[in-house]
Amino acid sequence: MQANTFKVRVDSIRDEAHGIRSFRITRVDGQPFDSYEAGAHIDVTAPSGITRQYSLCSDPALNDSQLFAVKRERESRGGSRSLHDDVGIGSELLVGQPRNLFRLVKDAHAHVLIGAGIGITPLLSMAYQLAANSQRFVLHYFARSEAHAAFLPVLSQEPFSGNVQFHFGIGSDDLAASLRGCLAGTARGTHVYTCGPAPFMDEVVAVGEATSTIAEVHLERFGADTAVSETGTALDEFDVKVLGSGKIVHVGKGETIVSALANIGIEIDTSCGEGVCGTCMVDVVEGDPEHRDHCLSKAERASNKVICCCVSRSRSPLLVLDV
Ligand code: FES
């Protein structure tokens, strides 16, 4: 769990779409929230005791409250189900500070946001930020039907109405053509941001990478079962050297870097423990990590300068980490 957590109160609850409910929260101590950039997510501990990560979908310029939305998952192990069933107005929840692995690129020429279903949540926050800064953007929202599309009233009004295009009922056979249409005519150097089910995002990446005007496709993955990670060449056992103290700890087969470091008194903050949230990310000074997370960008993986210690391992006998 993240070290820095605090209590919030649920001030309003709204059914945004079929199976999607939003929760507006304020701090119990009456303080404003710390500022955050669009694309950030928070840890939320449900009454069941289960902690999950949810993107903030509020306007990042407003810090008196925060908004997150939750899709009731059929396979829920108590996270989304408990938030839907056990939380009412006035309920108190434990949340963490915002963390962000899905930021807008500041000097991008233009931005295209492409979301599906509950994947609209970080993109809505991005749309607020882009509109406030008068930056060029289009938001494409794919949903099974109007009834499955969250935040329709907000997205249909100013300042978004001129920038949002809805795509309802597009089947998987037609998705690639639809996405090509979304990216046709984009300016050179456009950045694409996508969030939604894994096969949807895979298609956005494939179409984006085949479109010459697109500089990069950025994605937000939640749910370890749906993501792709590197596999295969990591060593069963390796050593980790702590940059500051020079201490070396052995990471055995089946052990994580987090637990090995805990054995020598170094606590790494964790949240999901599955490589999806980025809470346990630390800087790599030396060595060749094998990334088994689901949250680093392609560029971050290629640079080998950061590692998620809860799941990733090493291809070199020694990793030197800045912890
Ligand atoms: S704790 Fe979430 S990525 Fe490691």
Calculate mean pLDDT across residues 283-291.
95
Mutate to test the pocket of ligand 1, among 310, 312, 323 (most ligand atoms within 8 A of CB): 310
- The per-residue pLDDT for 298 is 75
Give residue-wise pLDDT tens across range 110-161: 999 999 999 999 999 999 999 999 999 999 999 999 999 999 999 999 999 8
Could you give the CA distance from residue 119 to residue 148 in angstroms, rounded to a whole number? Answer: 12
Name the CATH code of domain 238-322 (choices 1.10.8.420, 3.10.20.30, 3.20.20.140, 3.40.1640.10): 3.10.20.30
Give residue-wise pLDDT tens across range 198-216: 889 999 999 999 999 999 9
Q: What are phi and psi of 28, to 5 degrees?
A: -65, -30
**Taking CA 121 as the corner, what is the angle to CA 214 and CA 162, rounded to the nearest 5 degrees?**
65
- The per-residue pLDDT for 161 is 85
- Ligand 1 center to 154 CA (angstroms): 32
Mutate to test the pocket of ligand 1, among 54, 277, 313 (most ligand atoms within 8 A of CB): 277
Q: Where are the beta strands (DSSP E) in the chain?
A: 5-17, 20-27, 41-45, 51-55, 66-71, 92-96, 111-116, 137-143, 164-168, 190-195, 214-220, 238-242, 248-251, 281-286, 289-290, 306-308, 313-314, 318-322
**Confidence bin at 3 (pLDDT 50/70/90):** low
Going by CATH, does the domain composed of 5-96 fall within 2.40.30.10?
Answer: yes
- Ligand 1 center to 46 CA (angstroms): 18
Give residue-wise pLDDT tens across range 59-73: 999 999 999 999 998
Could you give the CA distance from residue 242 to residue 202 in angstroms, rounded to a whole number? Answer: 36
**Does pLDDT of 227 surpass 70?**
no
- The per-residue pLDDT for 252 is 93
Of the candidates 16, 204, 34, 51, the one whose C-alpha atom is nearest the C-alpha of residue 124 is 16
Number of other residues whose CB lies within 10 A of the CB of residue 276: 26
- Ligand 1 center to 210 CA (angstroms): 31
Sorted by where each begins, the domain ranges of the chain are 5-96, 111-222, 238-322
Could you give the CA distance from residue 91 to residue 77 in angstroms, rounded to a whole number? Answer: 20
Mutate to test the pocket of ligand 1, among 308, 313, 321 (most ligand atoms within 8 A of CB): 308
Higher pLDDT, 35 or 1: 35
Mutate to test the pocket of ligand 1, among 276, 294, 313, 321 (most ligand atoms within 8 A of CB): 276
- The per-residue pLDDT for 232 is 58
Share of the chain above pLDDT 90, in %: 78
Could you give the CA distance from residue 130 to residue 17 in angstroms, rounded to a whole number? Answer: 24
Could you give the CA distance from residue 118 to residue 71 in angstroms, rounded to a whole number? Answer: 6
**Does pLDDT of 224 surpass 50?**
no
Specify the pTM.
Answer: 0.79
Determine the atom of ligand 1 nearest the C-alpha atom of 309: 4
Residue nearest to atom 3 of ligand 1 (CA): 275
Q: How far is CA 47 from CA 83, 94, 162, in A?
A: 7, 9, 40
- Ligand 1 center to 115 CA (angstroms): 23
Name the CATH code of domain 111-222 (choices 3.30.230.80, 3.30.540.10, 3.40.50.80, 1.10.287.610): 3.40.50.80
Residue-wise burial string across 39-59, b where 16 or more C-beta atoms lie within 10 A, e elsewhere: bbbbbbbbebebbbbbbbbbb
Neighbouring-strand partners of residue 314 = 289
Ligand 1 first shell, C-beta below 6 A = 270-273, 275-280, 293, 295, 308, 310
Tokens of 80: 């989304």
- The per-residue pLDDT for 270 is 87
- Ligand 1 center to 99 CA (angstroms): 11
Of the candidates 249, 244, 217, 233, the one whose C-alpha atom is nearest the C-alpha of residue 289 is 233
- The per-residue pLDDT for 230 is 56
- Ligand 1 center to 2 CA (angstroms): 10
- The per-residue pLDDT for 228 is 42
Tokens of 3: 């070290």
- Ligand 1 center to 171 CA (angstroms): 33
- The per-residue pLDDT for 1 is 52
